[in-house]
Amino acid sequence: MEKQKNKNWYWFLIKGIIMIFIALLIFQNPRGSVLAIALYIGIGFLLSGLIVIWQGFVMKRTVQDWGWRVFEGVIDIVLGFILIAHPALTATVIPFIIGFWGAIYGFYVAIDGFSGDKNAVMKFITGILILIFSFLIMFNPLFAGFTLVIWVGVVLLIAGIYNVIGSFSLK
């Protein structure tokens, strides 16, 4: 099992780099159009989802929870298509969409922290941070309205850094 994980470490790295890149695009132009941000994020979710699905199927024979990885990828792809296909609608519901995705991802990472591997504490703390920021985005409209772009970037940056660091621990 460890050999298979080591062989595919770069998929986590690619996913993390994509998330960090999107976060940097968001930080670069925070006053930009919400529609453009929805497009950037939608493309990022599509690419991330494809990578996670590929990774899940590659690890099918060696990892028990490969189905959850595929499920995560499908969720990312569905959210990506929603963001791209309906940008006007997305502009009004983007705080909830991003917050919901972040909450699922943060919960998954926090639970994975109980796996007992050498990155358990990092996974748990990262998951909790993503959950906190995701709930702030989702359930505090004033917070989301004034600083949505920045906090979406923060959530993507934290998730991206986690994936990059995690990829090197699998190398």
Owner of token pair 């502009």 = 91
pLDDT number for residue 2: 44
Burial 104-118 (b: 16+ CB within 10 A, else e): bbbebbbebbeeeee
Q: Tens digit of pLDDT per residue, the chain (171 long)?
A: 344 556 778 888 888 898 898 888 777 776 665 667 677 778 888 999 999 899 888 888 887 778 888 998 999 999 888 888 887 677 677 778 778 888 998 998 899 888 777 778 888 998 999 999 888 878 876 666 556 677 778 888 888 888 888 888 877
Q: At what angle do helices 34-58 and 87-112 cross, to 10 degrees?
A: 40
| Cβ atoms of 71 and 115 closer than 8 Å | no
The domain segmentation of the chain, as residue ranges, is 35-85, 87-164
pLDDT number for residue 169: 80
